[in-house]
């Protein structure tokens, strides 16, 4: 039932003739020159300065709020002790 069916006249396998190609030189692909405009560099530098300034402002604000909380806490303790 599941036996393979073989052809009646077997044909010989096709023979391929291979002719060696001439050795090709490796292809060197160069990247196009990268041109970065001064405007782009300036934008990145200004963006970095602005982000650094914002980070410093947040840090200073957090430190000042922490100091104010400590001072208020100590003042409240003195009030409760009296």
pLDDT tens digits, 39-60 = 999 999 999 999 999 999 999 9
Residues of the chain with pLDDT under 70: 1, 10, 12-13, 20-25, 80-82
- Please tell me the predicted confidence (pLDDT) of residue 34: 74
Burial 21-37 (b: 16+ CB within 10 A, else e): eeeeeeeeeeeeeeeee
């Amino acid at each position: 039932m599941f036996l393979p069916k073989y052809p009646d006249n077997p044909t010989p396998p096709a023979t391929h003739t291979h002719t060696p190609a001439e050795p090709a030189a490796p292809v060197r692909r160069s990247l196009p020159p990268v041109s970065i405009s001064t405007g782009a560099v300036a934008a990145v530098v200004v963006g970095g300065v602005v982000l650094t300034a914002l980070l410093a402002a947040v840090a200073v604000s957090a430190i000042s709020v922490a100091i104010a909380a400590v001072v208020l806490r100590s003042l409240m303790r003195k009030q409760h002790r009296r």
